[in-house]
Amino acid sequence: MVITVNRPEHVSGTSIAQIVDLIRGTGVDVKLRGAITETDKLLTGATLDSREVQPGDLYAALPGANVHGAQFAQKAVESGAQAILTDPHGAELSTNCNSTLIVVPDPRAVLGAVSAAIYNNPTAQLGMVGITGTNGKTTTAYLVESAWRALGRTTGLIGTIETRIAGSVLRSSHTTPESPKLQGVLALMREHEVSHCVMEVSSHALSLHRADAIRFDTAVFTNLSQDHLDFHESMEDYFQAKATLFTPEHATTGVICIDDTWGRRLAQQSTIPTITLATPSFSDSTCATTDQTSPTAEDTPTPDWRLVTTGDKADTAFELVREGTHTGPGRLRLNSALPGEHNRINTALAALVLLASGLPVNEIERAMGARPRVPGRMEIVPLHTSTLGSADNALTPEAYVDFAHTPDAITATLTALRARADQRGGNLVAVIGAGGDRDAGKRPLMGAAAAALADVVVVTDDNPRCEDPAIIRAAVTAGAHSASQTTVLEQAGRAEGIAAAIRHLEPQDILAVLGKGHESTQTIGTETIPFDDREAIAAAWASHLGSDQEDR
């Protein structure tokens, strides 16, 4: 079932006066302005999009990159907004607005708390888990939600792919929505009697106060590697944004993977109790920053739990073994629902979330046996029976789609698929691209990561947005050429790039199309068009089989 609304049907209402008192209670200076200052009016919703205003709403008129939201204040009032929350410049732009203006220095900084109050603090009735990190947020969130459902909980999920409310789906536009929409969705979950919600918490959301007014029962840190440096000034700034989640204002307990130095720093810096995880990748390697010194060997924390594999790299079974002298259960026996070491880590983190909630080992092991389908994460695209090779060759190439769009994620995904290709005696063919108007520094690193593991790398377009696609491809290709034994091809047009990769496939080969995962559109310039990697693979494969038949 698809849900088409993103806020509850019934809201009791909060007066403008109560909102003003709430803001003043945080020590923020508030001024009431406007042609009308009726503070007894009730607010029953909130939005920062003037096109989505409903009668009774608070309209948050925020400064934007190109235009100030206050320019649409009168339109919002005409649509039924009862009050406008804005900054001093917004107040100047709204002089003739026929409504109450609530003016504060930084409206974003209070909007989360204000939105939560309007919707009557929905997370007070929800068990909340927040997951942050560069890679693995989505898969870990799906694993947690799947385990809860296996235990009979009524669940909610908010993330990159979609929002799920008691089994129904609401499409997502951001990893973490803006605070008015986020609080509205959480209130909708409460209305649908959801008991437990897991959400991805992006660094953007933490920096822009979207997750303010939510206190998570458990906060999870997966890892940190280069990404989003178009938004953050440095890796240190990126890290500190993530670290704010691990404070008493935002969470009660933390679960932290300490494989990288960022995780070890976070375990030391966290001001809440934490459960730490180390895996076979755990080492004393340093993180790529010059802003802070790395922890010394003496500072490196001993993990609370260690992931121990019980077979070869292709085996999905593993154990979590408690380290040190801690009391409580000492071992968890688990299976990963998805291939690859990185997915064993995601599974381990999800299991530790359940452990942090007080569940016994037998229930955790049973719940983690569920097999969620995570769209666009190591997702297999079925290929029809191949006519390639000899007539008695039963093998068909395997095709995978994955959202991997950072150097570390590409390495993790291709490491898993390299093992699969070796198992089949075939080559690994990878299709990669990089997004435009985003962190340009990671592009050559992405190319190098792909070329280090794949036999053939096809560099093509991702979402070029308003950048020249050829310039983006050139940066990725330059990095890919660092591996001399790898065949590197550059192909404009994503569909054409996928088709070029398929032409290189032999029956025993593995195809990995990386970067877009679950996405069903592509942004070129200012235009967003339908495009799905899974459909493009199927179409290119069908065309290739047709041409192969003709050649025969």
- Residue in the block written with tokens 């020249």: 468
Q: Is 330 annotated as a binding residue?
A: no
Select from 86, 51, 46 the least CA-distant residue to 68. Answer: 86
Is 517 annotated as a binding-site member?
Answer: no
Q: Is 96 one of the annotated binding-site residues?
A: no
433 carries a ligand binding annotation: no
Place of tokens 């976070």: 266
| Per-residue exposure over 234-267, b if at least 16 CB sit within 10 Å of its own CB, e if not | ebeebbbbbbbbbeeebbebbbbbbbbbbbbbbb
Helix then strand then coil, % of the chain, to nearest 5: 35, 20, 45
**Is 387 annotated for ligand binding?**
no
At residue 315, the pLDDT reads 67
Would the annotation count 98 as a binding residue?
no
Which residues face 320 on adjacent strands?
307, 332
Q: Are 109 and 48 in contact (CB under 8 A)?
A: no
- The reply, when asked if residue 393 is annotated as ligand binding, is no
316 is in an annotated binding site: no
Please name every residue paired with 57 in a beta bridge, in sequence order, or none if there are none: 45
Domains and CATH numbers, the chain: 14-118 (3.40.1390.10), 123-281+301-369 (3.40.1190.10), 379-551 (3.90.190.20)
Other Cβ atoms closer than 10 A to 458: 28
**Series of mean pLDDT values for 10-residue runs along the chain (552 residues):** 84 95 96 80 96 97 94 96 97 91 97 98 96 94 97 96 92 83 97 97 90 96 80 84 95 97 96 95 49 48 89 77 74 90 95 97 94 91 69 77 94 95 97 95 96 98 97 97 89 98 97 97 96 98 80 53
Is position 14 annotated in a ligand binding site?
A: no
As a whole number of angstroms, the distance between CA 69 and CA 61 comes to 4
* 519 marked among binding-site residues: yes
The answer to whether 134 is annotated as binding is yes
Are the beta carbons of 306 and 278 closer than 8 angstroms? Answer: yes
d(CA 129, CA 197): 6
Residue 19 confidence (pLDDT): 96
What confidence score (pLDDT) does residue 328 get? Answer: 65
Q: How far apart are the first and last CA of the chain?
A: 46
Q: Quick one: how many helices (H) and strands (E) in the chain?
A: 16, 26
175 is in an annotated binding site: yes
State residue 294's pLDDT score: 45
The pLDDT, as a whole number, for residue 316 is: 82
Q: Is 484 annotated as a binding residue?
A: no
Contact between 220 and 254 under an 8 Å Cβ cutoff? The reply is yes
Q: What is the pLDDT of residue 290?
A: 37
pLDDT confidence of residue 285 = 47
**Sheet strands side by side (includes 31-33):** 31-33, 100-103, 83-86, 57-61, 45-47
- Tell whether 469 is in a known binding site: no
The predicted structure's pLDDT at residue 385 = 72
464 is in an annotated binding site: yes
Contact 146, 353 (CB under 8 A): no
And the tokens for 137?
């947020």
**202: annotated binding-site residue?**
yes
**Do the annotations mark residue 218 as ligand-binding?**
no
Q: Which of 203, 184, 217, 194 is nearest to 111 (CA)?
A: 184
Q: What pLDDT was estimated at residue 301?
A: 76
* Residue 331 marked ligand-binding: no
**Amino acid 372: pLDDT:** 87
Kindly state the helix (H) or strand (E) to which residue 374 belongs, with its residue range: none
Is 139 flagged in the annotation as binding? yes
Q: Is 135 annotated as a binding residue?
A: yes
